[in-house]
Chains A and B, each alone.
Chain A
Amino acid sequence: MTGELVQQYQQHIQDAYVAETPLCIQGGGSKAFYGRKIKGEILDVSANAGVISYEPTELVITVRAGTTISEINEVLAKEKQMLAFEPPCFATNATAGGMVACGLSGPRRPYVGAVRDFVLGLKCLNGKAEILNFGGQVMKNVAGYDVSRLMTGAMGTLGVLLEVSLKVLPEPEYELTLKGESDLATAIQLMNKWAGQSVPVSATSFHDGNIYIRLSGHKSAVLAAASQFPLSEYPDGENYWQSLREHKDNYFADDFSSDSRNLWRLSVPSTTEEINLQGQWLIEWGGAQRWLITSEPLEQIRNVAGKAGGHATLFRGGDRDGEIFQPLSTGIEHLHVALKNAFDPKRILNRGRLYKKF
C-alpha cells in the first residue's frame, strides 16, 4: 500500500519535473501558516503513515513521514520514552514530515537539542523524483554529507520526506515546575546563570512578570535542586509548558489576521540583554527564543535581531507574500541557491516557501 503511495508521489514529481509545475507539499497542514505563502499543485503526502520500526533498546524510531506526532508520542510513552525536543504540533494532525521540514522544537530545546540533533536518517524524493536514503538508524554515522540534517528545517524545498529515523530518549523520572516574580532583565540573567550550573533544568520561560523553570530527572536530584531556588512550586507545570509549546497560552490568543500586530520569533544569543522593541515579550529557551507581539516595522525588527547576533521570523500575521525569514548574506544566499539547484534543479518543490528567490 505505502509502496504504491510512494510510487504515486514519485510519478507526480516526475510529471511536475517535466512540465515544470510547482508543487506544494502538504502533510497534516498544521503548519500551513508557517513560512511564505506559495502557489502550486498540492502534493498531499499525509497518507504515507505508520511506524516502521521502534526498538526501545536502540533509542530509535523510524516512521513514515505522514505519521502524526501524537501517534509517535503515544507509541513512545508506552515504553517511557519521548521525543526529547518536544515538537510543537499546533493541531492534532501534525505529521513527522512537517515536524522535520519546519524544524521547530519546544521548551526542552536549549537543554537537550533541537529536531536536527535527533534526526538520524531519512528517505526522501528529490526534485528529480529520485528516491534517496541518507544517514541511518545508528547514533554515529559520518558516511557522506549530512543530508538528513540539511533537510531539517528546509521547509520541503530540498525534497519530499518519505521516512525519518529519530533518536529518542527516556522520559525523566520526575518533573517539577517552579515559579516566581521577576523582571525581564533579572530573568535573563538567572536563566543564563542556571544553565551554567549543574542543575537539571529542562525548560525556562518569562512572561507577565513571572519566571518559570522546569526541573527534570531523578526525583531526589530534582528535589535537591528545587530547594536551591528562591521560587515556589507551580502545580500546573505540565499544562503550562504544553500550552506554551502549542501556542495555546493566552499570550498567543490573537490570530494576528486583522490588526497591524504580528507575532515575531527572535532567535538571539541567550545572554542578549533586554531588546529595545515595543510590544509584549515572552521569553523561552534560557533567553535564546523571544516571542514578540508588536506592530513595529519589519526592517527595524530584523535589524535589531541581526545586530544582536540572531535572526527574526515573522511567525504569524503580516504579509505572507513578503520575506518571512531573516534575509541571508550574499555569500550564504549564493550557497542556498546552489544547493536548491543541486536537489531540485527545476525548483518545483515548495518553491518560495522559505525565500522568495528559491
Chain B
Amino acid sequence: MSLFVDKLKTQIAKELIISDEELLRAYECDALSAYRQLPLCVVLPENVEQVQAIMQLCYQENVPVVARGAGTGLSGGAMPVADGLLLSLARFNEIIEVDPHQRTARVQPGVRNICVSEAAEKYDLFYAPDPSSQIACTIGGNVAENSGGVHCLKYGLTVHNIMAVKLITVTGELVEIGAESLDSAGYDLLALITGSEGMLGVIVEVTLKLLSKPLCNKVLLAAFDEVEAAGDSVAGIIASGIIPAGLEMMDNACIRAVEDYLHAGYPVDAAAILICEIDGAAEEVDSECRKVEAILKAAGASEVRVARDKAEGEIFWAGRKSAFPAVGRIASDYYCMDGTIPRKHIGSVLNMINDLAEQYHLGVVNVFHAGDGNLHPLILYDVSIEGEQERAEELGGKILEICVEVGGTITGEHGVGVEKINQMCVQFNTEELLQFHAIKSAFDPKGLLNPGKAIPTLHRCAEFGAMHVHQGKLPHADLERF
C-alpha cells in the first residue's frame, strides 16, 4: 500500500479511508460513465477539522484532491485522478439551520438538493434551483457546477440563490466567503467559487437563500407541427413581458419515448411540445395564462391544453421529469449535451442538429430548458458497437461548436469537467485561457485541486487545434504545434 495512505491513516481514522480496489470501483466515475479512473484512495471525512488535516497532508505530499458530492455530474468533474485522493463529502449531510424569518438555510455540502425544500416546506419556503437530479445531487455539487433546473428561468441559478460558503483552501485553511448580508466587502469571491468545479477549494458549508412559495400556479401544454414554431413561441412569450416559472420543450423523439414509458397522454404526432408554468397571485396567473395561450395559438400551436388542476399539471410535468430515464429505455447508451444559445436560434439549431445526426448515423433526442435557450440534445448510441461511442462524442463536439457559432456557450449548467475540455479551446482564446490559469494559481499554486478538469492547457488546445480546423481557421494559430 502506498506510503501516502499510511501517512493518512496516522491522521484520519482508518474507517474513513477506502483503498481496497473493489470498493474504489464505486467511485471511478460520475454520471458520465464513459470516463473512468481509479483514485489512490477515497476518504469520507465527517468534520471540517478532518478535511483540513487531509488538505494539509495532501499539500505537503503533493497529492491531487478531487472533491465529490453524489457523483451525478454529467461532465466527468468528479472523476478521480490517478494517484490522487478522492474526497467524498457524503457524510456532510446535515441541515444545520433553517431560519424562516431571515429566509435562509445553512447546510453541509453533502445535503441532497431536495432535502432543503423539504425542510423549508413547513414555513412555506423553498429553495429555487431544482436540477432534474435533485433527489440525488448535493448542494456542494450544485455550487461547484452552478446548477440550474426547470424553475431557473424565473428564479435564477445556484449563483443567484446562495449567500455564503465556507471553503477549505488547498493549504487546509478555512475561509468564509459571502455573508448573510446581501453583499460583502471586496471581490465577489462567491460568484467565482460558484461553478468553479472543485478547482479552487473544498466547500464545507453553504448558506442558501429561501423564497416564499408562490400563491398558485398553472401549467400549459402546447403541441406544434413544426419545431421552428415552437421555438418562435418561446421568444414570443418572453417578448410579451411574461417570465414563466418554467418553459420546457421536447421534440418528437422525446415525446414518443416519454409516452411509451409513462403514458402521460402527450400528443405523439407533434413535432414538438412546450410545457409552460406560470406562477404568482391568482389574478396574475389567470391573466398571464390567457396571454400565453393566445401567443401559443398565434405562433401556430395545433393544440393548447391548460391543466384543470394541480393533478393534471403534475401529469404534464411528469413526462418532462422522466425524460432521461425514458430515453434510457430506447437506447443502450446516451450522451447528454448542454449547450446554451440565444432563444431566437432554437428552431434553426435543432434542425442543424438533426442534419448532423443523420450524417453521423446516430439518433438524437431533444428535451431542454427552452426559456433559457439551454439545449440538452441526448445522442443515442450503443457502446458495444465498435466506433459508435467515438462517433457520438464527435457529434457532441460538433453540436457544441454550433452553439458557440450562434453566440452561445458549450455548457449552460453541466460544467466542462473532462468532457468539454477540447471545446473550451473553441470558446476561449489563448489569453483568456491563461487568465483562467492565473486565477487557478491564485487559489491553488501547485495545481492539486481537481487537476486536468475545466480549463485546458494550451498544449492540449494546440493538439486539439491540429486535428481540428474551426471555420477554416486554426485556433491558436500563433502557438507552436507540439
- In the bound complex, how far is the Cα of B212 from the Cα of A221, in angstroms? 16
CB pair B415–A145 under 8 Å, yes or no, is no
Alpha-carbon distance A310/B169, docked complex (angstroms) = 22
Evaluate contact between B281 and A224: CB separation under 8 angstroms: yes
Whether A138 pairs with B412 at a CB distance below 8 angstroms is yes
A59 to B: closest C-beta gap in Å: 6
Q: Is the CB–CB distance between A153 and B187 below 8 Å?
A: yes
In this assembly, does A343 line the interface, its C-beta being within 8 Å of a C-beta of chain B? yes
By a CB distance below 8 angstroms, the chain A residues around B340 are 138-141
With a cutoff of 8 Å between Cβ atoms, the chain B residues found around residue A173 in the complex are 241
Query: Which residues from chain A contact B420 at a C-beta distance below 8 Å?
Result: 143
Chain A, interface residues (CB within 8 Å), range: 35 or more
- Neighbouring A residues of B471 by C-beta, 8 Å: none
B182 touches A311 (CB 8 A): no
Interface size class of B (residues with CB under 8 A): 35 or more
**Which single residue of chain B is at the shortest CB-CB distance from A313?**
B185
User: Contacting chain B: which of A1-9, A17-25, A126-134, A237-245?
Assistant: A126-134
Residue of chain A at shortest CB distance from B146: A142
- The answer to whether A113 and B160 touch across the interface, beta carbons within 8 angstroms, is yes
Question: Chain A's nearest CB lies how many Å from the CB of B321?
Answer: 19
- A136 an interface residue at 8 Å Cβ cutoff? yes
Q: Which of A109, A192, A332, A342 contacts B102 (CB 8 A)?
A: A192
Whether, in the assembled complex, A177 has its beta carbon less than 8 Å from a beta carbon of chain B, the answer is: no
Total contacts A-B at CB 8 Å? 256
Contact A271 B102 (CB under 8 A): yes
Among B153, B179, B180, B432, contact of A132 (Cβ-Cβ < 8 Å): B432
Known contacts: A132-B431, A338-B442, A343-B438. The answer to whether A332 contacts B183 by CB under 8 A is: no
B168 CB to nearest chain A CB (Å): 10
Task: Decide if A139 touches B374 in the complex (CB within 8 Å).
Answer: yes
Decide yes or no whether B288 CB sits under 8 A from chain A.
yes
Once bound together, how far apart are the Cα atoms of A169 and B284, in whole Å? 17
Q: How far is the CA of A58 from the CA of B103 in the complex (A)?
A: 31
Residues of A95-134 at the interface with B, using a CB-CB cut-off of 8 Å, are: 103, 109-110, 113-114, 116-117, 126, 130-134
Answer yes or no: B373 CB below 8 A from chain A CBs: yes
Q: Residue of B at shortest CB range from A126? A: B435
Would you list which residues of chain B between 388 and 416 have a CB under 8 Å from chain A? 407-416
The stretch among B42-50, B189-197, B266-274, B327-335 that forms the contact with chain A is B189-197
Contact A342 B442 (CB under 8 A): yes
Known: A137-B407, A198-B214, A332-B186. A58 touches B343 (CB 8 A): yes
B428 in contact (CB, < 8 A): yes
Binds B, one of A206-214, A275-283, A322-330: A322-330
Interface string of A268-298 (1 = CB under 8 A from B): 1111000000000000010011000000000
- B190: nearest chain-A partner, CB-CB: A149
Bound state CA distance, A332 and B442, in angstroms? 12
Cβ–Cβ < 8 Å partners of A195 in chain B: 103, 212
Please give the distance in Å from A155's CB to the nearest CB on chain B. 9
Chain B nearest Cβ from A136, distance in angstroms: 5
Asked if residues B186 and A336 are in contact (CB atoms below 8 Å), the reply is: yes
> Which residues on the B side are within 8 Å of A288 (C-beta)?
181-182
The yes or no answer to B134 lying at the interface (CB within 8 A) is no
B101 touches A150 (CB 8 A): no
Q: How far is A116 from B176 in the complex, measured between Cα atoms in Å?
A: 19
Contact of A221 among B99, B180, B284 (CB under 8 A): B284
Contact A57–B287 (Cβ < 8 Å): no
* Neighbouring B residues of A133 by C-beta, 8 Å: 428, 432
Contact mask for chain A residues 56-89; partner B; CB cutoff 8 A; 1 contact, 0 none: 1111100000000000000000001000000000
Complex Cα–Cα for A238 and B442 (A): 45
- Having A328-B185, A332-B175, one finds 11 other A-B pairs with CB under 8 Å, namely A80-B241, A103-B188, A141-B409, A170-B243, A192-B101, A196-B100, A221-B280, A271-B99, A288-B181, A310-B184, A343-B435
Task: In the A-B complex, list the 4 residue pairs whose CB atoms are closest, starting with the nearest.
Answer: A149-B191, A220-B283, A338-B442, A170-B241
Mind listing 30 A-B residue pairs with CB under 8 Å?
A58-B235, A103-B183, A137-B342, A138-B374, A138-B409, A139-B374, A140-B409, A142-B146, A142-B412, A142-B415, A143-B416, A143-B424, A144-B427, A147-B439, A192-B101, A196-B101, A196-B125, A217-B280, A218-B281, A221-B281, A221-B284, A224-B283, A269-B179, A311-B181, A331-B175, A332-B186, A338-B442, A339-B187, A339-B439, A342-B435
List residues of A whose CB falls within 8 A of some B CB. Answer: 55-60, 80, 103, 109-110, 113-114, 116-117, 126, 130-134, 136-147, 149-150, 152-154, 158, 169-171, 173, 192-193, 195-198, 200, 217-218, 220-221, 224-225, 267-271, 285, 288-289, 309-311, 313, 325-329, 331-332, 335-336, 338-339, 341-343, 354-355
